[in-house]
Amino acid sequence: MESHHHKPLQGRNLFWSIVLNLFITMAQVVGGLISNSLALLTDALHNFSDVLSLIISWFAHKLSHKPANKKRTFGYKRAEIIAAFINSASLLALSVFLIKEAIERFSQPSPINAKWIILLGGLSIFINGLSVLLL
């Protein structure tokens, strides 16, 4: 039976994954505004939520390994649960915002520039794949 051991999220690989995701987020925001594409803006928010999730998870992971003390006999293990809750709540809030924007665009459609969507979509796939390899 194969064992699945993962290295903890720390160090340079995590840092570079965050940097790469911030880069693609900024590129997609600019491209989404230039091309008038809700799809690019949606993916930019998705990538930004990934960055926040990585940062929150890393912090919670570090915090959860602090030893127990008299005040916190269970230690800080609940930090990871709170981080998951924060990540889920932010995704729900983003979803509500994007649904509202999509409904508005259905009622008043506007033309988009597909070249930007194709270019930044391909770049996003490449950078997300690189991030996966790093992590």
Q: Are 41 and 29 in contact (CB under 8 A)?
A: yes
pLDDT of residue 10 exceeding 70, the answer is: no
* pLDDT of 7 higher than 80: no
Tokens encoding 123: 């770049």
Mean predicted confidence (pLDDT) in 100-114: 86
- Listed as own residue / partner, the contacts of 90-96 with beta carbons closer than 8 Å and 24 or more positions apart are 90/49, 90/52, 91/49, 94/45, 94/46, 94/49
Residue 63 to residue 105: CA distance in whole angstroms: 43
- What's the confidence (pLDDT) of residue 42? 87
Instruction: Indicate whether this model's pTM tops 0.85.
Output: no
pLDDT, tens only, 75-89: 667 777 888 888 888
Residues 24-48 have pLDDT tens digits of 999 999 999 999 888 888 889 888 8
Q: How far apart are CA 127 and CA 24, in angstroms?
A: 7
pLDDT at site 55? 83
User: What's the one-letter identity of residue 132?
Assistant: V
